[in-house]
Amino acid sequence: MINAIAIDDEPVALEIIRSLVQKVPFLNLQAVFVNAFEAKDYLDKQQVDLLFLDIKMPDISGIEFYQLLTQKPLVIFTTAYSEHAVKSYELEAIDYLLKPFSSERFQKACEKAKSILELQATTRQSAPLFLKSGYEKIRVDPQEILFVESAGNYMTFALPDRKILTRLTMAETLAMLPQPGFVRVHRSFIIAKDKVTKIEKQQLHLGTYVVPVGNMYAEEVAGMLNF
C-alpha cells in the first residue's frame, strides 16, 4: 500500500483527489492539507511515500515547498498552469498533472509511482545500512534488525546481540528501512514484520523483547500482520 498526502489551497481540488484515490486500490490517502506549512509538520513526523502537490499556492509554491523537504517522498505535481512543467521534471517529479485531469490520467501517474516504489524496495532490501554512532559508522544488515525505538532525535536499532544508538528522526528511519519488511506500530517503535514471534492485542513479542502497539496504529498493524 502506498501512503500518500495531497496539498492544495483549493478544497475542491482536494475533494477531486479524494474521489480519484478511491478508484486506486494500492493507494492510501492519509491526509489532505490546504496549508503547506501544516503539511510540512506532518511530513516531519509521519512516513509518506507520495505527494500530490499543487504548484500555485499563496504562501509558498509547490516547487519551493518540495525543495525545502529534507526527506523527499515521490511527488506528482498538480496545477492549472503548464509553464511549470519543465521545472517540475528537473526535480525528478513522477508526473505532472494539468488540471482538470481525467481519472485515467490520474491512474497512470499512480502506476508510475507504484513501479518506482517497488523497484526501490527491491534495491533497498539487500543494501546494508551504515549507522553513525559517535565517531563511527557501523554497517548493519537490515535482516538483522528486530525493531527500532525513538527517543527524541535519536533512534535505537535493536539487533539480536546488541543495540546501536544513532541520531535520526522517525521519518528519516522509515525512509531508509526496506519496505514492506518494516512497519510502524507505535509512536516510538518500528518493527521487522518477520521477527514477530508472538502477537497480543496491545503488544508484540520479538524474541525476548516486547514492543507496544499504539491505538492509532492497531488497525493497520492488524491488517499487515494478519491478526
Average pLDDT over residues 26-39: 95
**How sure is the predictor about 128, in pLDDT bands with cuts at 50, 70 and 90?**
confident
C-alpha cell at 116: 518506482
Point out the least confidently predicted range of 104-108, 117-121, 135-139, 200-204. Answer: 117-121
**How sure is the predictor about 90, in pLDDT bands with cuts at 50, 70 and 90?**
low
* Res. 86: pLDDT tops 70: no
**How sure is the predictor about 124, in pLDDT bands with cuts at 50, 70 and 90?**
low
* Res. 55: pLDDT tops 60: yes
* Res. 60: pLDDT tops 60: yes
Using CA atoms, how far apart are residues 204 and 196, in angstroms rounded to an integer?
7
C-alpha cell at 173: 528511519
Point out the least confidently predicted range of 25-39, 53-67, 68-82, 190-204. Answer: 68-82
Nearest to 94 by CA among 30, 40, 27: 27
Q: Please, what is the average pLDDT of the chain?
A: 87
Q: What is the pLDDT of residue 91?
A: 65
**Domains of the chain, earliest start first:** 2-124 (3.40.50.2300), 129-225 (2.40.50.1020)
Average pLDDT over residues 51-58: 93
* Res. 88: pLDDT tops 80: no
pTM above 0.75, yes or no: no
